[in-house]
Each structure stands twice: as structure tokens, then as C-alpha cells.
Amino acid sequence: MTNDQRRWTHSILRSSRSYLARFQWRKLWQFGPFRWGDVAPRRAIRVAVGAMVPLSVGSACGHLDYGAFASLGALPAGFASFQGVTRSRVTAVAVASAGMAVSTFVGAATAAAAPWLLVPVVILWGYGVGLAVCLGPRLSVAAIQWPVALLIAIGMPLGPTDAALRAGLVLAGGLFQGVLVAVSWAFQRGDPERAALAESYRILAVYASGLAAGHFGPPSSMAFPAAAALADPNPLLPRTARLYYLDLLEQAERIRASLAALAERAADDPSEAALRSAADAARALDLIAGTLRVGRGDRAGRIRELNQLLPSLTVVPSASRHLAAEALFGQLRAVTQSVVRLHTAPGRMPVGHAVSGPVVPPTQDEIGWAALTLRANLIPSGETGRHAVRLAVAAGLAEVIVQATGLYEGRWVVLTIFLVLKPDYTSTVYRSIQRAVGTAVGAGLGAAAAWLAHPSSGGLIVAAGIAVAAAYALFDVNYVIYSSFLTVFIVILLDIFGLPADTTAVARLTNTAIGAVLALIAYSVWPTWEGLTAQEKFARLVEAHSTYAAALLHSVAHPGQTDPAQLRGLQAAARRARTDAEASSDRLADEPQHPPLTPTVARTLVAVVTRLAHTELSLHALVPPQATATGREEGGARDGDADRLDALATAFSTAMISLAEAVRTLQPPGPIPPLRQVQSALRDRPTVLDPRLLQITDNLVDAANTLEDVLRRHLASP
């Protein structure tokens, strides 16, 4: 055995011992939380109709089995329709449906012609599905439906002709779900977008209320709900309304920056005037959110309240936060005007006027992006590549065991591995147990429902409809409850195919437990500990905020030379990186420790960068909202000030790049530029810059120096 092999073996043994020592066994029996507020009855009705109409049509035509095949295509496509917003949701359904049709044909035809060829097929599907996680939730959820169709088809082998017919029925059922999604657009013209904007302004109102109560922490790092809704709006939304919505979202971002600036000033001077300004802003934001939320008939009264409130929003001139509060109140007045214009704007789309949106069904660019992303994640040393290989090997070995032993209904073993083996530790462990428990409950209920409904096909259809509607409605409430009702539906559907419900239920229960155990073994043999991959996420976090802060400094130094949309893009990238790092920090707490990047260090890094993000929002509030490239904005920097700001931006960027590299390599950082000395040049010389800029740049430097100190202490060699 070579030294590398010995080190690898010892590492596995240490990880396994640490895994067993830290594993929280009691959590296996905590099947919560139960998020009853996330029940989705309207969504359940829509997707349940998509699954039940094929069954009803098949029964009426005397081919209930054909209807069951189409329903099998509609069921997974329904879950894919939960991803995306409007057109992107239809894309997810189409991708899922096409993949399920191919999988159905391959599974049924291969099982009939050469069952042992299913082993390489399962391995190929496993690798593809595992690799798809790098494409994001929408496409990865669509891809996970492919092995579902493959393994269901394996249980009912058919010749090529019949397999093609079944694949066509599965495709038709899946696309029917897509049609229902498109039809729903006509009943929600602007409602989801307006509700998302209302929630975005409600978040701002809650934050402003916290400031009024004396809580001066930074705003949330999450993107506003309206960002996703307006990136993929309803195609039937009138163009005029869409433009107003986009303007309201842009104003919400600027208000968030102004509130951050107000919080920073109030933290230094928590006077009654500062708290009153925050309270006034909270009332106005809450009223704006309510105006966007209510129906058109009640909107006029809310607008009158807004118009009566805004004149009373005044700032004490002598207060130190005068400029921040005045900017905030000006933005609130602008938002009110946009809401008024939105209320009085025509509600119909001009005839012959096409509306283009920023998100469309897959284009060549999106397909090219997906191809590049997949190619970048082929290396098994990465998180995605390792998960793809692990899933392919585990599923392939399970299929070999099933083929060699002739295990009755053994496909459920393989399917369970596909569904519960995830890239991360926590999801794999707890999803395995919850899936097994949910299947146990659902198998018993499904057998009982099928027995009570026999021999009436109508009774079976009603029981299946209730089960699938409950599964769809409770999908976001609790995984155990969802998997229980899903199992009920599958057991009833297989009973329609002629597979006895009682024996099918028992076999699925047993095989699901076997699959869950195999998934746990596969992860424990070759784990992907967050502690070994989190360093890249934290390095990207530091880099993203470095780029954003440097761009803001350049924008203040040279108004008009930076596109506001570009700054928003950099801000969004920094926010995404911070959200990823926060999620990674939470994962680290559930895993064995991997020094030097321990959960404590991760939380400290998140805290420092959160303070940096707060400062960046304050700096963003100083960027002129309507910068142009034709001349210098009023209040812009003089040549000397601009040079000093550029120097600070360059030094800050250089320092943060060095710190990011230290995180990536888990080595103490090298020397960084003397940021305090560079920043003091702004304070020590006459300037026409906004007085707030001195404190903001001081906070930027302090955040970078704090980050350096944290890394030097925790990444120091033992």
C-alpha cells in the first residue's frame, strides 16, 4: 500500500469515527418541522387535475391502463412545475416530460429484451442526474423525474412498439401539465408579480420598524421576492404594468440602501429624531405594501392614505442623519407616484404590441451555458462531479444486486437511492429515514384504499385523486406527509395496472428501506463533507464583495461612468455569494469538524462580511441614481478626490483578492496594502465629497482589516 493510499484509508477511518460520534441519532425521529402555512391548495388543484384527467379519459374510453400511463407522466411533471415562475416553469415541465418519455421507452424495451443491460443504463442515468444538480433547482428537479419514469417502466417490460406507445402517453400526460400551467397565466395577470412586490416592501417595512425599535443590524441578504417574479413575468402582463413593476423593484433596492445608511448613522447617534424617521418610513412602507396587495377596488383608498401621510414626513435639519433620511423620504414619494400611475394606467395590452421579457424558454445561450456548466463539473474531485459518480455507482450496484437476487419489485431499491442520495450530508441522512417512514405509512394506506375501492374503477380514480392532491398540497409542509400520500397514489396506480396492492405495498416498504440503507452506506464510504468544499464558497464570497465595493467606489469617484444596471448585477452576485456562504455555514454545524474551517470560523467570516455588506449598501446610496456619461453629476468628486477614491478602490480590491486566496488555500494571507493609510488621505485633505463617505470608507477598511485578522489567527500553522 502506498503512502497516499494509507493516508486516504486513515482519512476515511477518521471521518467515519467522527461521523458516528457526531451523528445526532435523536433527530432521525424528529419528523418536523410541519410548516402548515405552506399548504398550497390552488397549486394542488391545478396539478392534480393534470394527473387525474388522463385517468378519467382512459376510463371513459375503456382503456384505463392507457390513462394510467399518461397519469404517470403527469405526476412527476407536476412536481417539476413547482420550479420556475411562468415560462421557466413550462420549460421545466417540458424538459421533465421529454426525459420521462425517453426513459419510459428505454426502461420498458430494455427490461423486455436484455434485463442485464439495465445496469449500464441505470449507471448512465445516475451520472446524468447527479451532474444536473450544478444546473440549479429548476433543471435538476426536472432531471430527477427521468429515473422515476425509467424504473417504473422497468417493472412492466414491453416490446419496442408497445414501449413507444407508452412513452407517447407519458409525454402527453407531462405536456398536459405544461398546458395547465400556461392556462393559469390568464387567471393571474399581474397578481403574482404584484404580490411579490408587496412582500418586498413589507420586508422593508419590517426592517424599518426594527430600526425604530433600536435594532441597527444590516438588512437581510436575501433577494427581494419580486426579483424572481419580474425576471420571468407573466407573458400576458401588459407592458405598461411591467415597466412600473420593474421601476418599483429598482426603488425597493434603493430604499434598502437608504435604510442601511440611516441605520449606520443612527447606530452612532440613536437620537429620538433618528428613531422617528425610521418609524415614519416603516408606516409609509407598510402602507405601500398594503396598497400593492389589495384589489383594484380598495386601492384608491390606500393611495389617499399614502398621499395624506407623505407630506408629514419631515426631517430635523440639524440631525446628523439629515441627508440619509431626506433621500429615503424622497424615494418614498417617488414610489407613491409610481403606485398612483400604476393604478391609473390602462390595464390591457395594446393591440399588436408584443412584450418581450428577460427570461424565455431555452435559447442557444441558455443551452450553451448549461453545456459549459456541465463540462466544468465533470471532474470527480468537485462537489458535483463526486456526487454524480457516487450516485451512478450506488444505483448501478443496487441494480446488480436486484438482477442477481431476483428481488421482487427490486426497482424500488434503485429508485429510493435516486431520490434520497443527495450531494450534502444532512439531506441524505434525514431524507433517507423520512422517505422510509413515509413509504411505510403510505404503503399501508394505499393497500387499504385500493381494497376499499375495488372493483370499481371510479372508486380507484377518486382515491388516487385525493391522494395526489394531498401530496401536491403538502409538498412544502413536511416530507414525511408528502411521501406518505405519494406512496398511496403509486400503490393505487399500480393496482390499476394489475399489480396486487397488498403485495406491492409490502414489497415497496421493504425495498425502500433497503434503498435508504444503501444510500447511507454510499455516502459514508465516499462523503462530500461541507468542510472540504466550503472554502471555495467563502473565497467566492470575499471576491464578490471585493468587486462590488470597488465598483461602488469608482462610481462615486466618476459619476456617469458606471451603468446602474451593472452595479445591481454586482450587488446581486454579492448577495448570492453571501446566501451560499450562510447556507454552507449552517451545513458545517451538522457535520464532523474539518479544521481549520470550523463552524465557528465560518460563522465569524459570515458576520464580518455581513458588516461589510451593510457598509456597501450605505455606499450604494451615495451613487447618483440617474448617472450619465455626458458630464459630471452635481456633488461628484473633484480630480484629487477621484484619484484618492480610485487608489482606495485599487488597494481594497488587492487586499480582498489576497484574503480570498487565503480562504481558498486555507493558508494565512500574505501582506496586504496599508488600507488605513490610503483611506486617511480622504480625511486629511480638503474635499467636496459627501461627509458620509468618510465614515463609510472607514468602515470598509475596518471590515477588510478584521477579515485579515480573523484569517491570520485561524489559518495559522499549528
Residues 209 and 302 in one domain: yes
Model pLDDT, residue 545: 93
Q: How far apart are CA 171 and CA 138, in angstroms?
A: 19
Q: How far apart are CA 679 and CA 673, in angstroms?
A: 11
- Which position has the grid cell 377596488? 297
Model pLDDT, residue 168: 93
Residues 415 and 510 in one domain: yes
Handedness of CA 214, 217, 223, 227 (dihedral sign): positive
Model pLDDT, residue 203: 92
Model pLDDT, residue 36: 74
Give the mean pLDDT per block of 10 residues along the chain (718 residues): 48 47 48 72 83 85 84 79 76 89 94 93 94 82 88 88 92 88 76 88 92 81 80 79 83 85 75 81 90 79 80 61 72 83 56 35 57 76 82 94 88 88 73 72 78 74 84 81 82 75 74 86 77 79 93 87 81 82 74 75 86 85 60 52 88 93 89 88 67 82 89 74
Residues 475 and 444 in one domain: yes
Residues 76 and 138 in one domain: yes
CB 98 within 8 A of CB 491: no
3-state secondary structure 671-704: CCCCHHHHHHHHHHCCCCCCCHHHHHHHHHHHHH
Which cell goes with 505? Answer: 405495498
Residues 451 and 331 in one domain: no
Residues 603 and 664 in one domain: yes
Residues 535 and 674 in one domain: yes
Residues 47 and 169 in one domain: yes
The CATH number of whichever domain residue 683 belongs to comes to: 1.20.58
Model pLDDT, residue 401: 93
557: left (phi over 0), alpha (psi -120 to 50) or beta: alpha
| Residue 83 CB neighbour total at 10 angstroms | 20
Model pLDDT, residue 161: 93
Residues 399 and 311 in one domain: no
- Does residue 558 lie within any of the structural domains? yes
CB 249 within 8 A of CB 230: yes
Closest by CA to 560, choosing from 649, 617, 623, 621, is: 623
Residues 57 and 121 in one domain: yes
Domain boundary among 466, 501, 525: 525
Model pLDDT, residue 353: 36
Domain boundary among 525, 541, 559: 525
Domain of residue 460 covers: 40-186+380-525
Closest by CA to 598, choosing from 531, 506, 543, is: 531
Q: What domain count does the chain have?
A: 3
Residues 514 and 619 in one domain: no
Residues 337 and 396 in one domain: no
